[in-house]
């Protein structure tokens, strides 16, 4: 990790890129490969007995570093397949090569290494791994008993000090189901009870004993903020109890954070011989937003409230990366495009509360047609498994409303636009050489109701195979509780 | 004060009232799926005065009939979503209009007739219709005995126009048993006591009215409402997910024969498919539930509907996808059907499970659920396979009428096609 700069807003993020040695294996059973890979990873993790840097509120500090190591992979070619790259036109009858965890070639044909696994994709489709930028997997684990309800620290309207990853239960049985839906990367957010709910975690949808083992190496944190009905309902008795109270709450938090950032940045830029200012976890996260190191992921339904949130961001000099839910995004599609804020949206959720009343099924295509970045998100463990279907609904609704939407557009709503929303557009979200080999093979066109993810690779490792029920990932929770899959597939 | 804009809107309102007059409609050239029989290519469906008058290849089309050209289109009965809260619950999280949950007494609301609070002007009825649903079950939703459900046709009119049948069922909830009573078996005991007292009440009404009866566990109105249930003329639809809860419901049905039951939700129904088939119990399930979201649904799986059908159980598909499946997204029922097919149900079975099977379970198959001469003209013309996302419902007839009432979302979409929008014209 290179030395961070401390000069206020918009420093670059420092990716702690893991360079992985290419692992080659003969035909070893899938589960054995998984186990071998994990044991090797654990053995190489160093122990650090020296005192930690916990006294310092350092930008880009990483006290819970990712220990993710890709699962073992074999060079793999899928050929004779339709490829939706999310980077250009669909390639009919194309081929893709994955090697060493990366995509190394995509085109009409690829040169297959001698040791490559060759998969014939006749009649099938390949897409990038789907990215869900709005997940609560692990923090609202299944079964949804109170003991597993870890998504809302609803004890104070501003809780920027809490981090979603500290609530994630890696044995949540929703993870393998998500992977089976073709989802390879998720942003797990705190809930929306609070004005400022805490840090998100960007995870790979992979089996692991710890959340650190799922964390996407080098991914930025996000900050969950929430507008509207939820905070004012949760805090009705102590405040904020109104939307104006909500706005006063955001502003008060940013005023405190800006003072904190100045104090710390001055100390960090100085000779550091005086005692450092005291750490404050809440302001530390907010200061990182002001420095540009953490993206704001803003739950907000109504158009008028989104416009106010944009002004607040300008008042304090931070950027809103994405509005989440945004059921009225279509009302300000031009503004979202101009401000370079993505819309992380549902295809057809609406009317379940006042601020969702004006939902329209053409929301996503309208945002897209205005030149904005539309993203299909879920906020739901069931919808997250079928984001391809959500995109298909949105595409159809757009066409019904007279908006020209292509499948090449719709695939971007699920992949590259989502990658941009979490700042990983250089590493995932499209099928271009050099990117991580997060790849899905679909049984047919992913926008058909009859298609299912058949194989899913994460960093080139085949982690889901619908036809292989014996080696299927089953979480600890499922053992003895949930019947083994198989028999009907 | 009447502005010019209001005058215009009034004229539009009058316009679609006129257009809604019943007439003779001939839907010609489509691939017709009657459900009651095999599909017929290049066929005509003739609707006269709101009823299906003919279905087939050689249909004489009366002069003056309104023709709907359906070459290349698929024609099916209107879809029936048996489990909704349309017209009785809207904007529920903000307590907008919530009339589906009765308070009852000790979690018993048998006398609650949910449709008596139905709002024909509810904003999302047209949305469901636009997506191809012509009839819905409106279900009550709280307590051990939740109340009585109704079948509603989604036409523009008053409740009396729209009501197909009420009640169609009494609903009960065993999935939430230990929240209602202290424990599962206590809820079952509670239910048993209610059903026994309904029998007692029915056999001894005279004594009851003369105050010569022992105390019964429910109010007179609730006992009255339960009499057709214990007599077997009104089915008791029981919400149950865990396989053992479904078995408990089946045992209760045997104990109280001739009582008839249905199983609502049924996450683990596939595990007791043979027993459900043998008991000829309708099972109302969605096709997108595969999460062990509670200890009652540990073995939820998307193959549920297909596995049940493979064992010859009676499956009615209901919506359980993400979002407001019972309200804003009632029309998404067709995607549950598509997902059921993706996970093993045959296409024909899935179509039946959203048309004729719900009609039978709701006791309205004499008038809905298939394209059969004499049934009402609830017909949809689809641009293609109705289960596919790319397909649209191009024409939706409810009792032979096509509504011109726009959906709220269509009006919003249209308004914001120009940004900033025009909210109205200043008075001239």
Distance of CA A346 to the CA centre of its chain: 15
> Does pLDDT of A72 surpass 60?
yes
Judged by a CB distance cut-off of 8 A, whether residue A147 touches chain B is no
Q: Cα-Cα-Cα-Cα dihedral of A464, A467, A473, A478, to 10°?
A: 140
Least Cα distance to B329 among B239, B407, B240, B411 occurs for: B407
* For A382, nearest residue in chain B (alpha carbons): B322
- Give the Cβ contact number of residue B65 at 10 Å: 18
Tokens of A158: 């501003």
Q: What is the C-alpha R_g of chain B?
A: 23
With CB atoms and an 8 Å threshold, state whether B321 touches A174.
no
Give pLDDT, residue B97: 84
Residues 304..363 of A with a Cβ closer than 8 Å to B: which?
Answer: 330-334, 346, 348-355, 357-362
Q: Is the pLDDT at A139 greater than 60, yes or no?
A: yes
Chain B's closest residue to A332, CA to CA, is B419
Tell me what the mean pLDDT of segment A140-166 comes to.
97
Chain A residues near residue B391 by CB distance under 8 angstroms: 396
What is residue A14's predicted lDDT score, i.e. its pLDDT? 29
CA distance B223 to chain A (A): 34
Structure pTM? 0.92
Q: Give A 380-439 residues with CB within 8 A of chain B.
A: 380-383, 385-386, 389-390, 392-393, 395-396, 399-401
Q: Which helix (H) or strand (E) holds A100?
A: none
Find, in chain A, the residue whose alpha carbon is nearest to that of B347: A450
The pLDDT of A39-60, averaged and rounded, is 66
Omega into B167 within 30° of 0, i.e. cis? yes
Q: How many CA atoms lie within 13 A of A204 on its CB side?
A: 32
The residue among B291, B331, B418 with the most chain A CBs within 10 A of its CB, best to mutate, is: B291
Are the beta carbons of A449 and B341 separated by less than 8 Å?
yes
Could you tell me the CA-to-CA distances from A85 to A95, A130, A324, A365, B174 in Å, in that order? 11, 12, 25, 19, 48
Is B344 an interface residue toward A (CB < 8 Å)? yes
Q: What is the mean pLDDT of each run of 10 residues along chain B (428 residues)?
A: 38 39 88 98 98 97 97 98 96 87 93 97 95 98 96 97 98 87 92 97 96 95 98 98 97 98 98 98 96 96 97 96 84 97 98 98 98 98 98 98 94 93 80
Residue contact A351–B124, C-beta within 8 A: yes
Q: How many residues does chain A have?
A: 489
- Residue whose structure tokens are 């085109």: A107
Question: Percent of chain A, pLDDT > 90?
Answer: 87
Task: Decide: B227 and B256 in contact? Cβ < 8 Å.
Answer: no
The whole-number pLDDT of residue A120 equals 98
Distances, alpha carbon A478 to alpha carbons A174, A214, A455, A462, in Å: 10, 19, 22, 21
Closest CA to B110 of B189, B173, B162: B173
The pLDDT tens digits of the residues spanning A330-360 come to 999 999 999 999 999 999 999 999 999 999 9
Contact assessment for residue B144 and residue B180, using Cβ atoms and an 8 Å cutoff: yes
Residue A49's pLDDT band (cuts 50, 70, 90): low
Q: What is this model's ipTM? A: 0.93
- Asked if residue A28 has pLDDT above 50, the reply is no
Q: Is there a contact between A98 and A330 (Cβ–Cβ < 8 Å)? A: no
pLDDT of residue B40: 98
Instruction: Taking residues A291-303, report their average pLDDT.
Output: 98
């Amino acid at each position: 990790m290179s030395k961070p700069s401390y000069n206020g807003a918009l420093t670059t993020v420092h990716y702690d890129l893991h360079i992985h040695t290419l692992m080659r294996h003969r035909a070893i059973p899938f589960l054995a490969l998984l186990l071998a890979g994990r044991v090797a990873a654990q053995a190489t993790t160093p122990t650090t007995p020296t005192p930690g840097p916990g006294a310092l509120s350092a930008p880009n500090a990483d006290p819970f570093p990712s220990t993710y190591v890709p699962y073992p992979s074999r060079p793999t070619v899928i050929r004779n397949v339709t490829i939706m790259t999310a980077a250009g036109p669909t390639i009919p009858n194309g081929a893709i090569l994955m090697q060493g965890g990366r995509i190394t070639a995509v085109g009409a044909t690829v040169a297959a290494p001698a040791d490559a696994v060759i998969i014939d994709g006749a009649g099938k489709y390949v897409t990038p791994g789907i990215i869900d930028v709005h997940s609560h997997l692990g923090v609202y684990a299944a079964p949804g008993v109170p003991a597993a309800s870890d998504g809302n620290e609803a004890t104070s309207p501003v809780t920027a000090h809490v981090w979603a990853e500290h609530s994630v239960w890696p044995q949540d049985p929703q993870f393998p189901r998500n992977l089976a839906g073709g989802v390879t990367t998720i942003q797990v957010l705190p809930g929306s009870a609070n004005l400022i709910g805490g840090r998100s975690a960007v995870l790979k949808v992979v089996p692991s004993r710890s959340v650190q083992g799922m964390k996407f190496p080098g991914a930025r944190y996000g900050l969950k903020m929430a507008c509207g009905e939820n905070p004012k309902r949760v805090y009705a008795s102590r405040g904020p109890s109104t939307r104006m109270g909500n706005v006063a709450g955001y502003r008060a938090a940013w005023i405190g954070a800006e003072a904190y950032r100045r104090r710390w940045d001055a100390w960090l830029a100085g000779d550091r011989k005086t005692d450092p200012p005291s750490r404050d976890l809440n302001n530390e996260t907010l200061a990182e937003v002001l420095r540009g190191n953490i993206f704001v992921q803003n739950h907000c339904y109504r158009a008028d409230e989104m416009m106010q949130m944009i002004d607040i961001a300008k008042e304090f000099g931070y950027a809103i990366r994405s509005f989440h839910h945004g059921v009225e995004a279509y009302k300000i599609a031009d503004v979202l495009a101009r401000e370079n804020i993505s819309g992380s949206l549902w295809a057809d959720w609406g009317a379940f509360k006042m601020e969702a009343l004006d939902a329209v099924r053409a929301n996503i295509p309208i945002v897209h047609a205005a030149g904005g970045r539309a993203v299909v998100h879920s906020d739901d463990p069931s919808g997250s498994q079928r984001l391809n279907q959500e995109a298909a609904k949105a595409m159809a609704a757009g066409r019904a409303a007279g908006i020209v939407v292509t499948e090449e557009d719709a695939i971007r709503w699920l992949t590259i636009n989502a990658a941009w929303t979490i700042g990983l557009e250089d590493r995932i979200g499209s099928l271009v050489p050099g990117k991580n080999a997060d790849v899905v093979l679909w049984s047919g066109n992913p926008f058909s109701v009859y298609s299912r993810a058949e194989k899913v690779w994460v960093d080139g490792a085949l982690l889901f195979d619908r036809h292989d029920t014996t080696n299927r990932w089953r979480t600890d929770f499922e053992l003895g509780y949930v019947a083994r899959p198989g028999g009907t597939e | 004060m009447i502005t010019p804009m209001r005058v215009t809107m009034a004229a539009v309102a009058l316009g679609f009232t006129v257009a809604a007059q019943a007439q003779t409609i001939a839907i010609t050239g489509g691939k017709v799926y009657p459900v009651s029989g095999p599909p017929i290519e290049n066929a005509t469906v003739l609707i006269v005065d709101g009823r299906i008058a003919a279905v087939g290849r050689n249909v004489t089309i009366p002069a003056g009939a309104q023709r709907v050209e359906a070459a290349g289109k698929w024609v099916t009965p209107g879809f029936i979503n048996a489990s909704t809260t349309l017209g009785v619950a809207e904007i529920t999280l903000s307590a907008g209009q919530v009339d589906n949950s009765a308070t009852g007494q000790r979690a018993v609301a048998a006398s609650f007739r949910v449709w008596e609070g139905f709002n024909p002007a509810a904003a999302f009825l047209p949305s469901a219709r636009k997506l191809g649903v012509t009839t819905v079950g409106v279900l009550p939703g709280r307590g051990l005995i939740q109340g009585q459900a109704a079948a509603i046709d989604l036409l523009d009119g008053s409740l009396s126009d729209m009501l197909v049948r009420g009640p169609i069922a009494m609903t009960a909830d065993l999935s939430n048993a230990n929240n209602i009573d202290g424990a599962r078996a206590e809820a079952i005991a509670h239910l048993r006591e209610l059903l026994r007292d309904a029998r007692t009440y029915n056999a001894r009404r005279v004594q009851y009215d003369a105050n010569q009866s022992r105390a019964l566990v429910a109010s007179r109105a609730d006992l009255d409402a339960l009499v057709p249930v214990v007599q077997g003329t009104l089915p008791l639809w029981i919400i149950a997910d865990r396989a053992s809860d479904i078995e408990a419901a089946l045992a209760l049905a045997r104990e109280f024969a001739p009582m008839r039951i249905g199983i609502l939700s049924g996450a683990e129904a596939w595990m007791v498919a043979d027993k459900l088939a043998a008991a000829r119990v309708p099972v109302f399930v969605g096709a997108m539930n595969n999460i062990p979201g509670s200890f009652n649904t540990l073995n939820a799986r998307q193959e549920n509907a297909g596995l049940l059908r493979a064992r010859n159980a009676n499956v009615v598909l209901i919506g359980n996808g993400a979002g407001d499946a019972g309200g804003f997204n009632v029309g998404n029922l067709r995607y549950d059907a598509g997902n059921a097919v993706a996970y093993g149900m045959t296409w024909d079975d899935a179509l039946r499970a959203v048309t004729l099977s719900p009609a039978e379970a709701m006791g309205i198959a004499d008038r809905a659920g298939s394209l059969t001469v004499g049934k009402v003209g609830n017909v949809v013309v689809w641009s293609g396979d109705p289960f596919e996302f790319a397909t649209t419902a191009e024409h939706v007839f409810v009792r032979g009428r096509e509504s011109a009432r726009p959906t709220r979302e269509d009006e919003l979409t249209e308004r914001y096609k120009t940004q900033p929008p025009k909210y109205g014209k200043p008075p001239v």
